[in-house]
Amino acid sequence: MNARLARWLARVPPAHRLLLIGLAMLALPHLLRLPAWLALAIPALLLWRLAHDAGRVRLPSRFVLLGLVAAAVAGLFVHYRTLIGRDAGSALLLFLIAAKLLEMHRRRDVYVVLFLADFLIVVGFLFEQSLPYTLWMGATLLILLAAQIHFARHPAGGDDGPLGPDLRLATRLLLQSLPLAVVLFLFFPRPGGPLWGMPEDALGARTGLSATLSPGRISHLSDDDAVAFRVRFRGPPPPPGRLYWRGLVHVHFDGRSWYAPHHPVPALQPAELDLQELSDPVHYTVTLEPHDRRWLFVLDAPLSVPLDTVITVDRQVASPRPVSELKRYSAISVLRYRLDTRHRPGPVYLAVPDGAAPRTRALASRLRAAQADDRALVNAALDYLRSEPFFYSRQPPLLPDDPIDGFLFDSRIGFCEHYASAFAVLLRLAGIPARVVSGYQGGEPNPLDDYLIVRQSDAHAWVEAWLAGEGWVRIDPTAAIPAERILETPERLRPRRAEAGDRVQTAPGWLQRGLRRIGFVWDMLDERWNQWILGFDRHRQIDLLQRLGIDPFDWRATAGLLGALAVLALAGLLLYLRWRDRETHDPAIRIWRRLCRRLARHGLVPAPGETPRAFGRRCARKMQGSARDLERIVALYLRLRYAPDASGRDLEEMQRRVRGLKLDEKA
């Protein structure tokens, strides 16, 4: 079977194989984002073209092809409700490229496919800009460029000639373009908004926290190991138990879900907040992955936040626009504090809908009757969670219409959202102002570099209660659950160890350590990529120009800098070309290479191992009008290279004949 397949593929012209490989590499990252029927149709079209080039099937007629395109357009419109935009437009373009292969007969059709593929490479960066994707697209561009060079060198159809020289030339061209790309990356003016993105797709399906907190949301993130953000501390990082990354503050409760305010009220400047008994400040820098929302994540309690952000009365840090690209910001926080001790919060922090959670109301009344002090009541409520059979599970059972009573008195199985929501309602019904905060807790240090990795699986929710004389105090009711009550699933009440390192591992220890180290190395590379490439925004560009002594707001100075860099690049290119021509001291070789470059424009390239005489005869057969001149030039070249009695007159004659050579295919 393998031998038959090898013989079958050997019939496909090498250039066509190269083109189809490049298109398959281009389509692969898009397939997971496409509808299932389209993700199957595109590989089918590529295989159809491959089978045709192998002589196994015929290409479809124009009517069949038009029917396929019409069906695909209709299907895309039904799926996306539009044909415009990032998702629908890229899907349509990818299908049209695959369909164009089925009517690719002339070299012009090949160029259309190649140019559309090059454009789709750029479109792909609207979805992904990570280091692996960039490397994959770089390899794809190399393959497609080599195919384009091969078809240009062989106008007859690209069916003859080796692919090695084309791949080497494509690699050399890409490497030569890197200096210009670096100059444009560093100095070309950048827009104020995202470099990659489209407004209509800004609220796509990104993972992350939601402004609505109801049982089920964070449970979906608990198994997601995607990076939420990375943090670098100035100095040693705080202990993991103090790392509460504050994100959203949920104030409004409708009986089932918690909501953050739609229009957060800005507070005083951070330095004017009522902070007392401060601990030493913690300085850190966060590199936040795009999540298409406005909120940022900081440690409690923030003293200093970025200049382009707003801190609300609930100490929620918000950006003026959604974070749709990598965002890097610095902040200062204190981990021991007393906040807002003088002013009791308003009634919104005590609001619970009438008729909601009647059994919880009764429990709150009993706790209040037994504990007149707010702090004692909070401790009694935590003791209630410890003493009663509450369990932690990431897969809790469905709750009835009243989720608070259903959780506290019926199922008693849940995760952090259940505990935070129920505990905040219990405190409110007992007369203690409370709110729910969602964010992340902890983080994983990268032992190969000095930063912390916070993943989506670290998503967490906790409670803040206002206590007289203490102000807003953080309370984590989930932490009150003993470790022996942590379950894998609610159906099988098996004890589950809290620490990931204690879980049963099936792989050998050396393999686990090796894979873990590879993961840290890759994350370090990804962090560097985010910091120096994706994080190079307009502000960092302005800072770079100012360090170079250039006013970034003076267009004349910027234009002068770009012009000077362009002149230097051109001068460097000219010096390289001159050095390449002088790389040999034999003038006969330089003249011969000049002749070969002229012949290459007509599709005549020396084959590996082909002698100058054999190459000259092959060229003479094609260029019959110039056959005698070519034969004389080859004879002179061989005489100059190998005859001991070659003279300067032979060199002058060869140079004169090459300069005056007119390549003519006519006899």
Q: How far apart are CA 82 and CA 89, in angstroms?
A: 9
Query: For residue 616, what are the CA distances in angstroms to 75, 162, 603, 632?
Result: 57, 19, 14, 10
Tokens of 243: 């790392």
Cis peptide before 181 (omega within 30 of 0): no
Query: 3-class secondary structure for 149-188?
Result: HHHHHCCCCCCCCCCHHHHHHHHHHHHHHHHHHHHHHHHC
Q: At 459, which helix (H) or strand (E)? A: strand 459-467
Tokens of 410: 């019926």
User: Within a 13 Å sphere around the CA of 432, how many CA atoms are in the beta-carbon half?
Assistant: 35
Contacts of 171 (CB under 8 A, 6+ apart): 142
The bridge status of strand 391-392 relative to strand 413-414 is: parallel
Q: How far apart are CA 334 and CA 283, in angstroms?
A: 9
Cα-Cα-Cα-Cα dihedral sign, residues 160, 163, 165, 170? positive
Annotation marks residue 402 as catalytic: no
Burial annotation 629-654 (CB, 10 A radius, 16+ → b, else e): bbeebbebbbbbeeeeebeeebbebb
Tokens of 250: 């949920």
Q: How far apart are CA 290 and CA 322, in angstroms?
A: 9
Determine the 3-state secondary structure of 322 from DSSP.
coil
Residues 280, 285, 289: CA angle, nearest 5 degrees: 140
Neighbours of 221 (CB within 10 A): 20
Neighbours of 283 (CB within 10 A): 15
Nearest to 422 by CA among 470, 461, 449: 461
Nearest to 618 by CA among 638, 640, 636, 596: 596
Q: At 512, which helix (H) or strand (E)? A: helix 509-529
Nearest to 407 by CA among 417, 415, 391, 418: 418
CB 284 within 8 A of CB 232: yes
Nearest to 260 by CA among 316, 298, 218: 316
Q: How far apart are CA 608 and CA 296, in angstroms?
A: 60
Alpha helices in 532-647 (DSSP H): 538-547, 555-581, 587-600, 612-622, 627-642
Q: Which of 16, 150, 250, 460 does the annotation list as catalytic?
A: 460
Annotation marks residue 585 as catalytic: no
The residues pairing with 282 across neighbouring beta strands, listed in sequence order, are 333
Annotation marks residue 554 as catalytic: no
Q: Which of 150, 416, 458, 619 does the annotation list as catalytic?
A: 416
Q: Which of 300, 374, 476, 629 does the annotation list as catalytic?
A: 476
CB 360 within 8 A of CB 404: yes
Query: For residue 532, what are the CA distances in angstroms to 20, 529, 537?
Result: 34, 6, 10
Q: How far apart are CA 87 and CA 76, in angstroms?
A: 10
Q: How far apart are CA 97 and CA 113, in angstroms?
A: 6
Q: How far apart are CA 426 and CA 361, in angstroms?
A: 7
CB 19 within 8 A of CB 113: yes
Catalytically active residues are 416, 460, 476
